[in-house]
A and B are shown apart, each in its own frame.
Chain A
Amino acid sequence: MKRKEFIQKSIGTGIFVGLSSYAFSSTIFTENTKHVTILHTNDVHSHIDPFPNDGGRNANKGGVSRRYSLIQQIRKENPNTLLLDAGDIFQGTPYFNFYGGELEFKLMSKLGYDAATIGNHDFDNGIDGLWAQMPNAQFKLLNANYDFSNTVLDGQIKPYEVFVKDDVRIGVFGLGIELEGLVNKKMYKETQYLDPVEIATDIVKKLKTEEKCDLVICLSHLGYQYEHDKIDDLKLAQQTQDIDLIIGGHTHTFLDEPTVVKNKINQDVLVNQVGWAGIYLGRIDFYLDKNTKTVKSASLGI
């Protein structure tokens, strides 16, 4: 409800454009057209089993093993698939209280996650608790705006990773929320929070120029939108450039479809988030080509 109002308002101001307002047009694919599929979750919060069949709103939804079946189907369809998570992997069911995140990381590794970022709840057993579980993660934990130099995580968390799928260079970087006031300091210890917009600007520049990335994805645990001036995914999208997709978390926002935001040089940025607890899997497909030949008003080829 809130979101609908937001989009209507935004269209009025011309800053954001609702996706549904786009006219359908078709694109001609050539034999050189590349196709990569991005799958994503956020705020799964240790929800390994589906919600119980108790008549509740989420009854029977979610569950890691079903998510795996779905991911396998999609990978069969397109092997050039990246699987990403936007943080808050930990905390929310006794699986975390009993095993400290061991099972969450082992299962994400089994499902073939490529990368995840760090959410505030991933510090719930302290920075040492997160560090202790890292050997169970066969995927990259990415964060660019926490300075871990004086902590056990020093040198363990990369700011970004470049993945190559179907010859497409995909740069993925992570951003985390300000921890002060949200997490007890004795949990995050000497972790220093750095400005997400400044860091994103530098990292994206590097990904575009040095790493020659064709696609740039931000895994963000900043939150979708705040009324006050606290940084969020929509503001981040507006204040930066060359980010193609922001996969968000923290606010447990259920978006039916990605929000399209104009960045500071008027490029479109997709901002997406799929609620929490592994109830949904988000899927975004990118088609890329050296050719930009297009034909308007042709029929859809899906």
Chain B
Amino acid sequence: MKYFSFFLFFLLFLNCKNPTTQESLQIIKKESKRIEISNKLVLNEETEAFIQPYRERITEEMNTKLSYTPKLLSKKDGKYNTPIGNMMADAVFEMANPIYKKRTGNTIDAVILNHGGIRAEINPGDITTKTAYEIMPFENEIVVVKLQAEQIQAMFDYLAQAKRAHPISNMQLVLSEDFKILAQSIAGKPVDKDSVYHIATSDYLQNGGDHMLFLTQPEKLTVLDYKLRNLLIDYFKKHPEINPEKDQRFIER
């Protein structure tokens, strides 16, 4: 018992306000303890045996090799765009587009994710299912929003103000040293005032996460029922080796 973090307390209850409740039970003392579940407690063998088959299947699946990368991929590796962020946004563009096209007949014009949503680094070597769980532990899923030109402008303004390597795909943004927009384009073309754009993102951001408010009032919202983690797993399976690079998609000149 000595390893338990211990606390005891006693309270005195004097109930004299209502004589009719004299016969009911009264609390005369309370004690409390917070007990740590430490490795000094023995494992319950029957419970362990019950968990074991579940555990084994997960371990096996988690260690399955999906792909390979020759280098460390970190979200710190770049000011406005990073290899890992580019890989994630490009993966969404590549994997979500066929589904969106099949569902709606339209194609995705560009992708925006958030820098904070990259939850881990990828070490050089084998990429496993576990890697996908580490970089994307949440259940976020891919949605596509149909946006007007002015909402697209709000997106570029947001990126210019945020000055963060939010992952983007199939669009370009060039800032001056004092963060003015020098050039912006989607699929290599300037934003057309009379066009609508189909932007893929996560449900988290579409709901206003990271204050990406330009995503919250779309003309149309399509939920792909495709979790970002599963999308990455499928992307890794499709590409036996990945070696993303930092590029010119979001830069300062």
B14 touches A22 (CB 8 A): no
Interface residues contributed by chain A, number (CB under 8 Å)? 71
CB contact list, A24-82 vs B, under 8 A: 24-27, 29, 33-34, 48-50, 60-70, 72
Interface residues on chain B, size class: 35 or more
Expressed in whole angstroms, the Cα–Cα distance for A214 and B36 within the complex equals: 29
Q: Chain A: which residue is nearest B1 at the CB level? A: A73
B35 touches A285 (CB 8 A): no
B32 touches A258 (CB 8 A): yes
**Inside 8 A of A279's CB, which chain B residues have their CB?**
36-37
CB contact list, B1-46 vs A, under 8 A: 5, 7-15, 22-39, 41-45
Answer yes or no: B62 CB below 8 A from chain A CBs: yes
A-B contact count (CB 8 A): 163
> Shortest Cβ distance from B64 into chain A, in angstroms?
12
Answer yes or no: A292 CB below 8 A from chain B CBs: yes
Expressed in whole angstroms, the Cα–Cα distance for A62 and B48 within the complex equals: 14
> Shortest Cβ distance from B4 into chain A, in angstroms?
9
> Shortest Cβ distance from B173 into chain A, in angstroms?
30
A288 touches B10 (CB 8 A): no
CB contact list, A232-269 vs B, under 8 A: 244, 255-258, 260, 268
> Shortest Cβ distance from B101 into chain A, in angstroms?
23
Which of B23, B25, B32, B41: most chain A Cβ within 10 A? Answer: B25
Expressed in whole angstroms, the Cα–Cα distance for A101 and B61 within the complex equals: 18
Query: Among the listed B10, B35, B39, B47, which residue makes an inter-chain contact with A283, where contact means beta carbons less than 8 Å apart?
Result: B35
Query: Among the listed B25, B39, B50, B55, which residue makes an inter-chain contact with A60, where contact means beta carbons less than 8 Å apart?
Result: B39
Contact with B along A71-111 (1 / 0, CB 8 A): 01000000000000000000100110111000100110011
A257 touches B32 (CB 8 A): yes
Answer yes or no: B90 CB below 8 A from chain A CBs: no
Q: Chain A: which residue is nearest B43 at the CB level? A: A65
> Shortest Cβ distance from B243 into chain A, in angstroms?
27
Expressed in whole angstroms, the Cα–Cα distance for A91 and B229 within the complex equals: 14
> Shortest Cβ distance from A109 into chain B, in angstroms?
11
Query: Among the listed A27, A98, A168, which residue makes an inter-chain contact with B28, where contact means beta carbons less than 8 Å apart?
Result: A27
Which chain A residues have a beta carbon within 8 Å of chain B's beta carbons? 19-20, 22, 24-27, 29, 33-34, 48-50, 60-70, 72, 91, 94-95, 97-99, 103, 106-107, 110-111, 124, 168, 184, 186, 212, 214-215, 244, 255-258, 260, 268, 270, 272, 274, 278-292, 294, 300, 302
| Subset of 18 A-B contacts with CB under 8 Å | A27-B29, A48-B54, A64-B47, A64-B51, A65-B44, A66-B37, A66-B41, A68-B44, A69-B41, A97-B133, A98-B57, A103-B54, A244-B27, A272-B32, A281-B35, A290-B24, A290-B25, A290-B26
